Homo-oligomer: A and B are copies of this chain.
Amino acid sequence: MSGLKPETRKHLLQVGVANIANTLLKRGFRNVIPHGVRPLNPRQPCLVGEAFTLRFIPAREDLDHMGAYNRDDNLHRVAIETCPAGKVLVIDALGSTAAASMGDMMAWRLVARGVAGVVSDGGFRDSESIRLTGLPCYAQGVAIPATPIRLHPVALEEPVGCGGVAVYPGDVIVGDVEGVAVIPATLVDAVAEEAFAATAYEEFAAEQIRAGRSLLGLFPSTPESRQEYEDWLQGKEHT
């Protein structure tokens, strides 16, 4: 069960990741977008959910081989089997595409279990097949070699780095067509509300700009333009 308020979730589904980055920057957070992490499928649904983390370290030949995946206590498999429904599996794959951090069988299993999506700073194999699952998946790219060639799953639900950004279990992950943002858990309601308001204003501003108006005095907003926006909003509601 997700701890996110329905209102917050609703807002986050409608704001872009770029707007969340702006909102967090105003609060002093400059590093909230995992670098190089992109949607596997540009047409996949948006992603909102709390982070459930999996941490990899470099592989070692005696511990990491194809046989390691036959063990029921292999933490890569345990992560797939225990990440709660509605949460986002966030994988610290050392930023490496030298080995796969997930394949299609695992993706199908996450779908069956109701997991919201996956974010990895490494890569996925079977990417075409993963696209068919419909699961919102974010990574640096394709990574075909088998996981144990480079990666050893070592822990669940620890704070990790992902694409150079800190992710604490329970942080809120939002993904859109460009990438993902990480929102510290305690700020999520305020950030969602503020980003939602900014997104609504941008709809007004875009309409004005397309009609030929200058950016100056309009975007970013000024007190005067925000008043205009309020009037425009009322006008829309009356029609």
Cβ-defined contact, B57 with A160, below 8 A:
yes
Flag whether A127 is at the interface (Cβ < 8 A): yes
Note all chain B residues with C-beta closer than 8 A to A97.
Answer: 35-36
Please tell me which one of the listed residues B25, B105, B161 contacts residue A58 in the complex, with CB atoms under 8 A apart. B161
* Docked pose: A18 CA to B35 CA in angstroms: 26
Given A69-B220, A146-B22, A216-B81, residue A57 in contact with residue B161 (CB < 8 A): yes
Contact residues, A42-73 vs B (CB, 8 A): 42, 57-62, 65-66, 69-70, 72
Flag whether A227 is at the interface (Cβ < 8 A): no
Cβ-defined contact, B61 with A209, below 8 A:
no
Given A81-B215, A178-B127, residue A57 in contact with residue B166 (CB < 8 A): yes
Closest to A171 in B: B60
Cβ-defined contact, A215 with B80, below 8 A:
yes
Cβ-defined contact, A16 with B126, below 8 A:
yes
Cβ-defined contact, A25 with B149, below 8 A:
yes
Query: How far, in Å, is A229 (CB) from chain B's closest CB?
Result: 14
Sort chain A's interface into a size bin: 35 or more
Please tell me which one of the listed residues B38, B108, B165, B215 contacts residue A206 in the complex, with CB atoms under 8 A apart. B108
Flag whether A115 is at the interface (Cβ < 8 A): no
Please tell me which one of the listed residues B22, B81, B105, B161 contacts residue A205 in the complex, with CB atoms under 8 A apart. B105
Flag whether A17 is at the interface (Cβ < 8 A): yes
* Docked pose: A194 CA to B73 CA in angstroms: 26
Flag whether A112 is at the interface (Cβ < 8 A): yes
Interface stretch, picked from A4-12, A150-158, A230-238, is A150-158
19 A-B interface contacts by CB (under 8 A):
A16-B126, A18-B103, A18-B146, A22-B66, A25-B146, A29-B62, A31-B58, A31-B60, A42-B128, A58-B161, A66-B220, A72-B217, A77-B216, A81-B216, A104-B206, A109-B209, A109-B214, A144-B179, A155-B159
- Closest 5 A/B residue pairs (Cβ): A18-B125, A57-B161, A108-B209, A58-B166, A58-B161
